[in-house]
Amino acid sequence: MHWADVAAQSLAHKGDTHVVSTGITPSGEFHIGHLREILTGDMISRAAKNAGLNVDFVFIIDSADPLRKVYDFLGPEYEQFVGNQLGAIPAPKPDGNPDWERFNNEGWSYANHFLDPFLTALEEIGVRPRLIDNLESYRSGHFAELSKIACDRADEIKETIERISGRELPEGWFPWSPLNSRGGLDKVRVTGYEYPLVHWEDEYGETGSSDLTKGEGKLPWRIDWPAKWGWIGVTCEAFGKDHGAAGGSYSTGREIAKILGHEPPQPLVYEWISLKGKGAMSSSTGNTVGPIEALRLVPPQILRLLIAKSKPNKAIDFDTGMGLVTLADEFERLAARDFNHELENEEISRRLKVQIEDAAGAMKMATVVSGQDIEATAVTFRHLALLAQTKKNDADVWASLQTSGAVEEITQELQDRLNRMRYWIQSSHFPEEMRINILSQPNREILDGFTPEEVQILHALHHEISNCEWNRKAISVAIPQSVESLGVSHKSLAYKVAYLSLMGIEKGPRLAPILVEMEQKEIVDLLRACLVALGE
């Protein structure tokens, strides 16, 4: 069984109706790491629905959380908002400073600014949860009843947090953080409590009262989380390993939920997604690849496969270069398999059967539309990358594929793939080992470094390429054949001369598949121009 089916099966033992929840704080640009959380929830929801359960999939926007600091992408004017709630402060303009005009006219907040492109990406990737805005939930009174219980039982909750987390809470700690005189959640201490009011005094010398029923503040995170489980009715939630650590917020939340009068949800802890060579992704440090950027490189099914094929407790090293090419290759291989036919073989081992079932489950979860079949394409990503680099016009790409018999009809899906491929090639993400750059004119500096033997090989190469048939097999033969009559001991010299003359590098991608996609005359003329440059 796929890991999402295992989670769904566990939920089925607890009832027929469930709320699967995920949530993210919109403090900066969303990245692929955030996709793991919401796609994990989406896949559990999909598996549970496939199992006949009634499932509500919710995405909680933690817009009531405060701005922690002035991040590198923000201007100095944001210093005044440190401690203020993300849904209550203006979005940044391109220069990093607050966009007061849009905030005042449209209510466009900091949280909206970072959330909006993420929701666009989710739509494209087939994730459509019910959105719950946390700040609005506080202001609408959804937290009022549970906040009252927390404040009434403050000592009990404090003891729970200290005992489980192993840390001592500060003197004067209270399970409600009031907004201070400047709209922030810090630099304020509670001086009294009489429901629904929490009285406070801040460091600016101001005093006031915070109304629990109007959301004039919020519960601290370790209480806010189990309170959400209660009023939303969450029965399953995916969250990162930091929250799942011993003494972490799930450990305390599990007991606090019972104090508040409800059961904690079934947990599913996931590992981080790291950016290859750069460590764990972080919005605040700028070490990110956003989902919109990733979707410009590859189709959504491939990003879904990235999450679906790895068990949640396995770390993912995301590589936008060759790693993404490898992932695309894996997607194409899996799409071409007939899993049902493979499973009909009664002689396969239990271990192989599990592997086949896992692969089939991953592809089922990779579909943008649940239940939709993924059809294999005859055009691999590697071949499309080659065509996109050797042919500047889309029509030439399609003509090559139709001439070779790889495709009959040019679908919108193929066009989308080509568009993404062209973007990928122009970006810094494209792997250098796949980059093709046929010279438009000879590189005189490189040619001047040729030995007499290499010049002789260039003559022979020009002759062979001029007279061979223009197909992949003939070109593959012509290059090494250029040194056979010269008594050269190493055929690799022929490839070295070919690469240096045509691409300006000593080695690179396989030449024959590249050259066959170009005009023979263009290649012959370039080799001839190299000889002319050498005075030959």
Instruction: Report residue 309 as tokens.
Output: 């094929």
- Dihedral of the CA atoms 15, 18, 24, 26 (nearest 10)? -160
pLDDT score of 487:
74
Verify that 63 and 121 share a domain, yes or no: yes
Per-residue confidence band for 86, with pLDDT thresholds at 50, 70 and 90: very high
Q: What is the CA radius of gyration of the chain?
A: 30
487 and 503 housed in the same domain: yes
Same domain as 245, residue 234: yes
Of the chain, the percentage scoring pLDDT greater than 70 comes to: 98
Q: Quick check: is 361 in a domain?
A: no
Look over the chain and give the mean of its residue pLDDT values, rounded to a whole number. 93
Whole-model pTM: value is 0.89
| Side chain identity at residue 223, one-letter code | I
Both 83 and 47 in one domain: the answer is yes
Whether the per-residue pLDDT at 328 is higher than 70: the answer is yes
Residue 191 belongs to some domain of the structure:
yes
Q: Which amino acid is at 522?
A: E
**Residue 274 pLDDT exceeds 90:** no
Q: What is the mean pLDDT of residues 213-239?
A: 97
Is residue 358 in a domain? Answer: no
pLDDT tens, residue by residue, 47-74? 999 999 999 999 999 999 999 999 999 9
- Residue with token string 């003891």: 159
CA angle 213, 182, 107 (to 5 degrees): 70
Same domain, yes or no, for 54 and 198? no
102 and 135 assigned to the same domain: yes
Domain boundary pick from 390, 408, 434: 434
On whether residue 233 sits in a domain, the answer given is yes
Residues 9 and 114 in one domain: yes
DSSP letter at 318 equals E
- In this structure, the answer to whether residues 416 and 477 fall within a common structural domain is no
Which residue range is the domain that position 461 belongs to? 444-533
Cβ 210 vs Cβ 217: under 8 Å: yes
Q: What are phi and psi of 146, to 5 degrees?
A: -70, -35
Cα gap 392→280, rounded to integer Å: 37
pLDDT, tens digit, for every residue of 18-49?
A: 999 999 999 998 888 889 999 999 999 999 99
CATH of residue 136's domain is 3.40.50.620
Q: Is 296:321 a contact under the CB 8 Å cutoff?
A: no
- Examine residue 294 and state whether it is found in any structural domain, yes or no: no
Residue given tokens 């409600």 in the structure block: 176
Note whether 406 and 460 are same-domain residues. no
Q: Is it the case that residue 285 has pLDDT exceeding 60?
A: no
**Which range is least confidently modeled, 65-69, 155-159, 332-336?**
332-336
Q: How many domains does the chain have?
A: 4
Q: Which of 354, 298, 368 is nearest to 330 (CA)?
A: 298
End-of-domain residue from the set 434, 462, 496: 434
Q: Is 57 a domain residue? A: yes
Would you say residue 494 lies in a domain?
A: yes
Q: Between helices 492-502 and 472-481, what is the axis angle to 10°?
A: 110
Burial of residue 215 (CB within 10 Å: 0-12, 13-18, 19+) is buried
154 assigned to some structural domain: no
The domain boundary, picked from 413, 434, 455, lies at: 434
Decide: 73 and 63 in contact? Cβ < 8 Å: no
